[in-house]
Amino acid sequence: MTEALFNDLFDEWADHYDETVFGGHEEYKEVFEGYSDILKAVVDALQLPEQSLVLEFGVGTGNLSRLLLNSGYRVIGIEPSEAMRKKAKEKVPDLKLYEGHFLDVPEEIPSVDAIVSTYAFHHLPDEMKDRALRELAGRLNPGGKIVFADTVFRDEEAKRNMQQEAEERGFHELASDLKREFYPVVSRLENAFQQAGLTVAFKQLNRFVWLMTAQKA
């Protein structure tokens, strides 16, 4: 897997990321609808003691990281984009932040109590999602959790319908994104979590985003 899979788009997007996620991009308003509530849902799903160690993938500009720290967790962030890491450190100076991604975790990072991510896991092709979940499950302490919020579709028909709707509304950038990226369906992801030895529950948060809460036995 090349680093370009993660980096190029987000280096360019860093300066405008917060504007997009907080509703400043017409085509993506529904994707990020309730963004602050989505971040809160991830934190609320953890239900772990204060000072539990949380590993976040795809930190972006640090919005979830800041909320986790403010909630009393210790946080280690992993972000492939240099421009995003710079933005995150400006906003969250106390964040321990490393270069990497789901399949490239620095060796010095210890086992953790939870792993979280928002709007990032879909960048991996399905086979890489499977591998990533197996590896991430191995990084969890007993009883540890994985909590993701990301674009997921109920089934392939729902995915096709959303692509068609985007085209009909003239949302060409969104339509292209829906075809290009590796957005999964619930059943495929559920199986991947289970194969990694995790129990998982799904909850839809807006038309695009689902909350996935998984736990290690």
> Which DSSP category does 93 fall into?
T
102 vs 56: CA distance, rounded Å = 10
Q: Which two tokens stand for residue 176?
A: 């292209």
- Binding-site members are 58, 79
Identify the CA nearest to 55 among candidates 134, 192, 142, 148: 148
Amino acid identity, position 205: L
Distances in whole angstroms, Cα of residue 152 to Cα of each of 13, 149, 205, 210: 22, 9, 10, 6
Contact 143, 213 (CB under 8 A): no
Contact 121, 102 (CB under 8 A): yes
- Binding-site members for S-adenosyl-L-methionine are 58, 79
Amino acid identity, position 136: L
Strands of the sheet containing 96-98, edge to edge, are 96-98, 74-78, 53-57, 112-118, 140-151, 209-216, 198-204
